[in-house]
Amino acid sequence: MKKKLTTVMFRGTRDQEEQLRAVIEEYRGVPGAMMPILQKAQEIYGYLPVEVLRIVAEGTDTPLEEVYGVASFYSQFSLNPKGSVAIAVCLGTACYVKGSGDILDRISEKIGIGPGATSPDGKYSLEATRCIGACGLAPVLTVNDTVYGRLTKDDVDGILEQYQ
Amino acid sequence: MDMVNVTINGREYSVPANSTVLEAARYANIDIPTLCYLKDINEIGACRLCLVEVEGARGLVTACVYPVNEGMKIRTNTPAITETRKMNLQLLLSNHDKKCLSCVRSTTCELQKLCNEYGVDENYFGGAKTESTIDDSSVAIIRDNSKCVLCRRCVAACNKNQGVGVIGANDRGFDTHIGSAYEIKLADTTCINCGQCIVACPVGALYERDDTDKVFAAIADPTKHVAICTAPSVRATLGECFGYEPGTDVEGKMVSALKALGFDGVYDMNVSADLTIMEEATEFLDRVKNGGKLPMITSCSPGWIKFCEHYFPEMTENLSTCKSPQQMFGALYKTYYCEKNGLDPKDVVFVSAIPCTAKKFEVQRDGQSAAGVPDVDVAITTREVARMIEKAGIDFRALPDSVYDQPFGFGSGAGAIFGATGGVMEAALRTAAEVITGEKLEKVDFDDVRGTDAIKRATYTLGDTTIRVAVTSGTANAKELLRRVQSGEEQVDFIEVMACPGGCVNGGGQPYQPAVVRNNVDLKSKRAAVLYHADKELLDIRKSHENSAVKALYDEYFGEPGSHKAHEVLHTHYVKRGM
């Protein structure tokens, strides 16, 4: 799926930047180091915004676009930070046939962002996931580490209210 | 050279052992179709049109990346192959905006040509199309992904030849598209507007911003005085748009065509190239004598200027402050010429015909308005000139030869060679040598700085001054050279950089040539040969300072090269852009 660009303000710290620069130094001269550098960058920042990739591009003497090409290609890289309320709706087969598509739409409408995005204030992030292995509870969603199962779209408002 | 024997379509050939099947087929006079292959820079087997049969190989193989070996048996045109290629073309078309009638590349499109040859059904596959956008943020280059076939030729040109790399493949699978990082608009990237992506593109996904309507409108406006000057290399390439072989000089017909279009004056930019040399050679000698910033780097190529501002902002003081010949011409026209002829610069529309898309950016830069209005109003590429001639119904091939209008109608040979890599350096050396020694230069050919090598170096002793020069083209090569200069590995006094590989003759605004020509014909040398021929055989004078038109300008208006007046009109400044 086409990756969504973030609208969340970058809040990187000096410390994070130093860590990233140390990673880039560690891989200096190592061929094919872009993947491990990006993986570690994502560990440090939680996601890969333009501010971070600019540091990688400059540090590895690689065009920014080339770095972005890698980041946008692999599903393991996220261009959006996780929200403080991180919602994931399962779109695995069992959940989907039990109506998780409607649930996803309802959440999307309520919080104003589509799947793969994070609200501009950084509060909500929404993800459409593959099967999370809780088919017995279908349809399911998770908010942070809590699992909600056997839902209908009318349950959405109640769940979201708990995270106001 | 090691050779191997291969069989192509039942006949035996001896081909170099390091050939690919695609290269080997050329020995059998067979062009295997390709859309993605560009020799040396894009050999990736992506488009799947060069599929051929190799006996013993599993399935069809991609000829562009498949090496030959002894005894290989190749077939290039069996029914199974043509059927597969046709299917692959239809798959490409399933994701292509098939508005071919109005497409800028209609008749020069490599995809269109192949589809016609293979007799495709353009609606064979329906269904969804990848979401696409048109990025028209840039003043020079427009990207339309609805036409893109993802061959990545533009990406290779931008990255490998130019060392810029602002476009590449984003996302994956069905969503794969060419774009900039984080979908930043081209105008907001470090794009240098060189247009090498445009001439690399096989289809209509990349094209210059067409400014011909502005020119037609100005010509039609009776209150406007509309003049045009043509860059040195346009006469060497324009003919290609009208079916002439690359390397045909069409100066006379071009001048006739422009007069037929209705310009009030048709002038030769070689004159302002000569003027550039007067200023630039003077500036260089002044820097040498008075401890100015060295190495001095030429400033004629606006793609190179923007590259330097982004990638080497710490070196912008090394750039000559001379405006480019295009801008000098416009500035001269709107000051000297207007004053002399009682014209209000506001009523003048000055047009330049140039081989370059970056000139479209240059005309709207700060510090390029000597008379308080832009020096040059519209910059149109060689392709746009051809488009105007066609649209006006002018039968180019039937035109007689005409000569440029005076007083800016005769340039020197030094001005002529500005259009090829090494030309500006050679022109400057011819003048600098005579200024330094005070003697007549006997041998005016500086052969060491000619040719299409990536980086050319030479040392000249002129009188008691030794000058180390370097010449490069293609900004990736320039990056390499400047890094060596910065690290101290390389010591030079004077550097010429042209943004496009081979110089303006291979500019991003030059006529389209399909990959089969780009891969097999030395376009740069063929086109440059026109300029060197003019320098040596056609023009009476070969040194800028001997050009009587230029001498008159200094006598009447500027005083001497580098004067206060000359600085006001003919020089400019740069910005440090960074990344």
- Of the three residues B179, B208, B237, the one that is the final residue of a domain is B208
Model ipTM value: 0.92
| Res B1: pLDDT | 82
Query: What is the bridge-based pairing of β-strands B296-297 and B494-498?
Result: parallel
In angstroms, the separation between the Cα of residue A135 and the nearest Cα of chain B is: 28
Q: What is the mean pLDDT of residues B347-355?
A: 98
| Res B413: pLDDT | 97
Measured between CB atoms, does B451 come within 8 Å of chain A?
no
Q: What is the mean pLDDT of residues B167-186?
A: 96
* B249 and B236 in a common domain: yes
Tokens describing residue B457: 């170096």
* B237 and B193 in a common domain: no
List pLDDT tens digits, range B198-240: 999 999 999 999 999 999 999 999 999 999 999 999 999 999 9
Give the helix/strand (H/E) hosting B273: helix B269-290
What's the mean pLDDT when you consider all of chain A?
A: 95
CATH topology of domain A85-161: Glutaredoxin (3.40.30)
Alpha helices (H) in B507-560, listed in sequence order? 515-520, 523-533, 548-553
- Of the three residues B77, B108, B140, the one that is the final residue of a domain is B77
Question: CB of B405 within 8 A of CB of B549?
Answer: no
**Across the A/B interface, how many CB contacts are shorter than 8 Å?**
51
CATH code for the domain of B383: 3.40.50.1780
Residues of chain B with Cβ-Cβ distance to A8 below 8 Å are none
- Which residues 185-244 of B have a C-beta within 8 angstroms of A? 189
* B396 and B517 in a common domain: yes
CATH code for the domain of B11: 3.10.20.740
Domain tally, chain B: 3
* B532 and B415 in a common domain: yes
Please state, in angstroms and as integers, the Cα–Cα distance from residue B355 to each residue in B216, B286, B382, following that order. Answer: 19, 31, 5
B362 pLDDT band (50/70/90 cuts)?
A: very high
Q: What is the mean pLDDT of residues B545-569?
A: 96
Q: What is the mean pLDDT of residues A24-38?
A: 96
Q: What is the mean pLDDT of residues B397-401?
A: 98
The parent domain of residue B204 ranges over 126-208
Q: What is the mean pLDDT of residues A58-72?
A: 97
| Res B212: pLDDT | 98
Q: What is the mean pLDDT of residues B155-173?
A: 97
Residue B576 in domain: no
Q: What phi and psi, each to the nearest 5 degrees, are found at residue B134? A: -110, 120
Residue B278 in domain: yes
Measured between CB atoms, does B131 come within 8 Å of chain A?
yes
Measure CB to CB from residue A3 to each of B131, B165, B171 and give the nearest one: B171
Residue B556 in domain: yes
Query: What is the bridge-based pairing of β-strands B73-75 and B51-54?
Result: antiparallel
Q: Where are the domains of chain A?
A: 14-73, 85-161
* B561 and B468 in a common domain: yes
A35 pLDDT band (50/70/90 cuts)?
A: very high
List pLDDT tens digits, range A110-120: 999 999 999 99
Helix-strand-coil split of chain A, %, nearest 5: 45, 10, 45
| Res A164: pLDDT | 84
Instruction: Determine the residue among B133, B177, B182 to mutate to test chain A binding: the one whose Cβ has the most chain A Cβ atoms within 10 Å.
Output: B182
Q: What is the mean pLDDT of residues B239-264?
A: 98
* B187 and B150 in a common domain: yes
- Rounded percentage of chain A residues whose pLDDT exceeds 90: 96
pLDDT at position A66 over 90? yes
CA angle A124, A126, A128 (to 5 degrees): 170
CATH code for the domain of B202: 3.30.70.20
* B218 and B203 in a common domain: no
* B228 and B174 in a common domain: no
Tokens describing residue B528: 């440059």
Q: How many CB atoms lie within 10 A of CB B389?
A: 23
Placement of tokens 């006379």 in the chain:
B252
* B217 and B307 in a common domain: yes
Residue B89 in domain: no
pLDDT at position A1 over 80? no
Sign of CA dihedral A62, A68, A69, A75: positive
| Res B463: pLDDT | 84
Give the separation between CA B434 and CA B441, rounded to whole angstroms. 6
What's the mean pLDDT when you consider all of chain B?
A: 97
Residues of chain B with Cβ-Cβ distance to A1 below 8 Å are 175
| Res B517: pLDDT | 96
Give the separation between CA A24 and CA A46, rounded to whole angstroms. 17
pTM above 0.90, yes or no: yes
* B479 and B409 in a common domain: yes
Q: How many CB atoms lie within 10 A of CB A141?
A: 28
pLDDT at position B462 over 90? no
* B197 and B243 in a common domain: no
Q: What is the mean pLDDT of residues B336-341?
A: 97
* B228 and B196 in a common domain: no
pLDDT at position B48 over 90? yes
- Of the three residues B178, B208, B238, the one that is the final residue of a domain is B208
Give the separation between CA B370 and CA B374, rounded to whole angstroms. 7
B428 pLDDT band (50/70/90 cuts)?
A: very high
Residue B460 in domain: yes
Tokens describing residue A12: 């990187």
